[in-house]
Structure 1
């Protein structure tokens, strides 16, 4: 099930449950006993939770097998100073400057279980940050690192809430690419599966940089 369809289904289900629960509370004669009242309250809470999930997963892209989620190119502007361009798979390109010798991409992944898994909702990902790093410990401590935020903060962040409170039916996972070398003219693909991220060199400059870096 795509995230667009999942968002519509979950939002509709959540709204129905909330409205139904409120109608029960507005008509006390329908409340036969305390157990029914608790069941109605549970329906409202579950409906609200479903709505929160629906709103949040709309901000994520589906993970379906190994897929390329971004392309990254680097251009030297000065000593350890780089112009980095990221082309996300489903968004506008982002260009900014980074300092250092290596780059890294961080991503958030949300996995689903229980009823959401039964509905066939695929795991979702959201690219979070592109950052640089110096290879020497002295520079890493002394110099100011630059980072590019790829997504803004949500007013109610399901990923953050799960990390703090271990929410039901949700598993929030942080993944990042192993730091890769900067090289003038280098191009990399960033590929993602449900298990993690990997950077793949796609031109000669990138392949040479990786080979020299590994020596």
Structure 2
């Protein structure tokens, strides 16, 4: 990742701002101590008040950075994850997930299809006009049965990606909506596709917030084959 990409991440910018504010708080602390030594109590009080303001601002910025951890900018179409499937037994699959940064994760899934869900954050119009793009984070992957009746009787697989930070925006927006006035909406988006042995799938997210799953050509041909073909 180059510096331009790094500086596009909202978490990085918030961390940088938190550091700057903490430096300002340190400067106010040193100035207040100096004025106390010189018995300039009024000036010391002023710097002490600025110190408190800086600390509160740093706490707010740091909290926002933690809540945004796990979110990514959403461009016209953002690659989310690659999925490779291998059959173990009927309706039992081994999946390998590969993220754009190269991280991988192996998991077992029950069902006929996989379903990937994401949480998408959209900003209000002023922020959008300023060029602030939507954000997203992966939420979970689950197994899905073609027969709806199996959903209530067959084993279910739901795997949490657990990539949100402490005090996630979804929870904070529900608990303290007035703290995030520029957030227009937080909503879920999902996509699913049939699983085939040796399948390879690409999952991406559109700027509109729609999650899209696509098989490669060989996988698409296998999906299109009749049962037993």
TM-score with structure 2 setting the length: 0.71
- 1:173 Cα shift? 2.5
Q: Deviation per CA, 1:88-134, whole angstroms, max 9, x where unpaired? A: 11251111110011111111223445897687554332212111011
**Of the two, which has the highest radius of gyration?**
2
Aligned to 1:55: 66
1:11 to 12, 18, 26: 18
How many aligned positions are there? 208
SS of corresponding position for 2:191: coil
CA distance in 2, matches of 1:119, 1:50: 20
Alignment of 1:1-215 (within 5 A): 2-3=8-9, 5-12=12-19, 15=22, 29=42, 47-112=58-123, 121-152=132-163, 154-166=165-177, 167-171=180-184, 173-194=186-207, 195-209=209-223
Gaps of 5+ in 2: 1-6
Residue 45 to residue 52, structure 1, CA distance change in 2 (3 Å): same
CA distance in 2, matches of 1:14, 1:59: 23
TM-score with structure 1 setting the length: 0.75
Gaps of 5+ in 1: none
Residue 161 to residue 178, structure 1, CA distance change in 2 (3 Å): same
